[in-house]
Homo-oligomer: A and B are copies of this chain.
Amino acid sequence: MGFMKARVYVSMKPTVLDPQGQTIRSALAGLGHTSIAAVRQGKYFEITLEPGTDRGKAGAEIDQIARDVLANPVIEEYRVEFVE
């Protein structure tokens, strides 16, 4: 049996300023990449679950982990996706 994996993507809410992304955008413009309108940076977590973990239980658990530990829901939003 293969390992079940979940991917959690955390990014700033669209209304929150992202100075890291703005800095990358300026640097890219300086390098001649003028077709880039905006860059926003986020975090990405790949979580491997123990073999035999129930898919439904895992979904609820990963969602709780994303909300409570990986993201700050005041300024960030997250997206969970299961692979395998």
Contact = CB atoms under 8 A, between A and B. Distances in A.
Number of copies: 2
Interface in A40-77: 40-51, 53, 57-58, 61, 65, 69-70
Given A24-B69, A28-B65, A65-B28, A41 B36 contact: no
Contacts of A24: 45, 69-70
A3 interface: yes
A44 B44 contact: yes
20 contacts: A3-B37, A10-B44, A11-B44, A24-B45, A27-B69, A28-B65, A33-B61, A35-B49, A35-B58, A36-B49, A36-B50, A36-B65, A37-B48, A37-B50, A40-B45, A40-B46, A41-B43, A41-B44, A42-B43, A43-B43
A35 B53 contact: yes
